[in-house]
Structures are given as C-alpha cells and as structure tokens.
Amino acid sequence: MDKPNPSNAAALIMPSPALASVAPLVAAFYADAPHSLRVRLLDQLLRPVGPLALGAIAAGAFARLLPPGHWTGAQVHLEDAMRISAAQVFELARYLEQKCPEWLLQLPELLRDNPVALGTLSGAMLMVALRAWRRRG
C-alpha cells in the first residue's frame, strides 16, 4: 500500500493562497458595512450553509438563525446583523472557502449594487481580490 503524500493531502484540504486571503477581506468588509448591507451580505453567505453547519460554524453563533419548523434556509434580520461579529463572519467565510468557494464569486454582484460599499477600502479590496481570483480560475 502506498504511503500518502503529505503535500498532496495538504493541497486537498487547504484552500489556495488566493482563497485564503478572501475570508479576512470579507470580515473587514462586514465590519465596515452599514447594518442593512450586513443583512444582505449574511443572506448571501448563508445560502449554501445547511442547518448542521449553522450550529457548528463560529461556535454556533449562527444557530439562532435556524427557522422554527421545516428547514427553508437561514433567516437573517437586522438584529442578527447587529449581533454577529466580523470574527464570526470570518469563520463563515473560511467555511465557504472550503465547502463551496465558487459561492464567494457571487459577492461582486452584491458590491456592485451598493456604490457606498465600493467606496470603502475594505469593499474595494474585496472586489479586487475576488476579480483576481476569478481570472486565475
């Protein structure tokens, strides 16, 4: 039986360097965003996240977003966006980098729809990083 190659194993479980830089930028953008934009950003980021992951990401910080009854997706309200920290959004973005990194490529649409967001340093940096990643892919 062949011995596993550690360098290949690391490549399978670790995001590429380009992706690794996106999570801190998403968190910084979240920290700078007005509360209404935070709600939209969380809605976007949480769409591919299932109920089990909501309870696991960021030590269960997103578990409160589970709807009562049948699962239809996370429900984000303004109060939630005010309570969720940038550090918790960082953990969410890291999860998405590993689970479905292509989902992060939809963030430029959210940024384009909000000229105020692009006027912030964190919004501009996030847009540049996502465009560079898209070109590499």
Interhelix angle 22-32/121-136, nearest 10 degrees: 150
Q: Is residue 13 part of a domain?
A: no
pLDDT digits (tens, 9 = 90+) for 39-93: 999 999 999 999 999 999 999 999 999 888 877 888 899 999 999 999 999 999 9
Q: Is residue 10 part of a domain?
A: no
Q: Would you say 97 and 17 are in contact if contact means Cβ atoms under 8 Å apart? A: no
Q: Is residue 114 part of a domain?
A: yes
Q: Is residue 8 part of a domain?
A: no
Tally of structural domains, the chain: 1
Q: Is residue 104 part of a domain?
A: yes
Bigger pLDDT: 28 vs 18: 28
User: What's the mean pLDDT in 99-103?
Assistant: 89
Q: Is residue 132 part of a domain?
A: yes
Query: What is the domain extent for residue 106?
Result: 18-136
Q: Is residue 1 part of a domain?
A: no
Give the pTM: 0.80
